[in-house]
Structure 1
Amino acid sequence: MTLDHDYDFWLLDLDGTLVDVEWSYTRGVFDRVGDRLGREFSDRQAEIIWNGLTGSRDRQLEAWGVDPDAFWTAFHEEEDPIERAERTYLHEDAAVVGDLEVPVGLVTHCQEFLTEPVLDHLDIHDWFDARLCCTEETGWKPDPTPVERVMNDLGVGHNGHRGVLAGDGACDVGAAWNAGLDAIHVERVGHEQRGRCVLGDHRVTSFDELY
């Protein structure tokens, strides 16, 4: 990669950046969550929450009159780690991440009970020298805390090392900048579908554009 030599380390988001899941799986989860909560979620609403298209998922749920705590409790209970892993695919252009010759970390909002089976199924565990699945304790992107924790695990804290974080959401860009890193926004869904344009130090639709 042409940017490989420009950075001492890389951090990456997972869902929507390196991998995605088949739509039928997403639709099924939202159908079951809707049954639990006594309401329906349209395809567009499911897409917005799954991809975080409008920023804070909790604020978006509240705007729809849905209690975030009740939603996420139902959501995580309806997710099947094995089925999700089997229905998850790696973006072809993301394979270059496995060739990076600098420390690489993963910072994802995907919960550990889902992340680990996905990494196992896709055989990409060894891509990452450190991993963190965000929780209420660690904080959520764009909070820089989870990013800085992974940087410390990699041994590249704020000590002059130049790093970059690549992700598909505005929260990834915000977390990168808040942690003093460059940001790559990987636009997988398209600006029109997202409803806005996300800025970044680099803006691409594929990692291939970074060659």
Structure 2
Amino acid sequence: MADYDTVLLDLDGTLCEYVRTKNDLLAAAFGELGVEPPFSARDYVERVDLYADRADSMVERRRLCFAELAEENGHDPDIGRAAADVYARERDHSNVRFLDGASEALAALRERYPLGLVTNGGPDMQDQKIDGLGVREHFETVVYAGHDTPAKPDPAPFERALSDLGSNAERSIYVGNNYESDVVGAANAGLASILVGEPPVDGSVDPLATVDSPADVPRLLE
């Protein structure tokens, strides 16, 4: 493998995961209000991004989404907004954890490379994960794609991180778990990538390598 002098990383599904699922959080949020969840996590996920042009933050998008989904299913929209607030509170620092081997891998990479974090999602959503994991000091830059720049797979967030680090694409590599956002996105910016997981058989771009776990990344780059 070629020598690299900069490593950029994804966050969700690459370094960490939620302890509780979205359905668990919905049950907790509506349960506190004495109401059975009137919609599923899938309903929420499929709808929430449609509110991007009506709200600047994920918190407000979620409140709009919960209100309209609640109303569509026979409840007062205020119940939806209240549940969204409880949902946000329940999704606190204790609800995120490292993937197996990710903490050790991150520490090993930090000893050898300047690191940048490139994650889809604004500070309101991602900061609680970064700070809950205690990893902010590991990164010399954090780019909130979809907030600071267009979201991945647009090349802009990768280019922003490289500019912040004074690095170039040819000497940098990106590690992520989502083929479209991470592998294709990195390629759009001229970066090689390591995919945590397996690429689709008909993918348009090949990652430089694939790994089963973030724990494998430092050894791969040796």
TM-score (ref. length: structure 1): 0.70
| Residues 87-106 of structure 1 mapped to structure 2, 5 A cutoff | 87-95=95-103, 96-100=105-109, 101-106=112-117
In the other structure, the counterpart of 1:140 is 151
Structure 2, gaps ≥5 residues long: 53-57, 67-80
> In the alignment, is the contact (CA less than 8 A) between 2:175 and 2:196 conserved in 1?
yes
Q: CA deviation at 1:85?
A: 2.0
What do you get for the CA RMSD once the two structures are aligned? 3.2
> In the alignment, is the contact (CA less than 8 A) between 1:14 and 1:110 conserved in 2?
no
Shift in CA distance, 82/10, structure 1 to aligned 2, threshold 3 Å: farther
The residue identity in structure 1 corresponding to 2:18 is V
- Check if 1:113 corresponds to 2:124: yes
Number of residue pairs matched? 178
- Check if 1:21 corresponds to 2:18: yes
In the other structure, the counterpart of 1:182 is 192
| Structure 2: distance between partners of 1:13 and 1:137 | 15
- Check if 1:169 corresponds to 2:178: yes
**DSSP 3-state at the match of 2:121:** coil
User: What is the percentage of aligned positions where both structures have the same residue?
Assistant: 25
- Check if 1:152 corresponds to 2:152: no
**DSSP 3-state at the match of 2:11:** coil
Shift in CA distance, 41/114, structure 1 to aligned 2, threshold 3 Å: closer
Q: CA deviation at 1:162?
A: 0.7
Match of 1:205 among 197, 212, 222: 212
In the other structure, the counterpart of 2:49 is 68
| Structure 2: distance between partners of 1:83 and 1:136 | 20
**DSSP 3-state at the match of 1:203:** strand
The residue identity in structure 2 corresponding to 1:27 is N
Structure 1, gaps ≥5 residues long: 50-60
Highest relative contact order (Cα 8 Å, sep 6+), 1 or 2? 1
Shift in CA distance, 136/69, structure 1 to aligned 2, threshold 3 Å: farther
1:49-89 CA distances to partner (integer Å, 9 max, x unpaired)? 5xxxxxxxxxxx3xxxx473248612697352673321100
Q: CA deviation at 1:110?
A: 2.9
> In the alignment, is the contact (CA less than 8 A) between 1:20 and 1:91 conserved in 2?
yes
Bigger Rg, structure 1 or 2: 2
**DSSP 3-state at the match of 2:7:** strand
Q: CA deviation at 1:147?
A: 0.7
> In the alignment, is the contact (CA less than 8 A) between 1:25 and 1:84 conserved in 2?
no
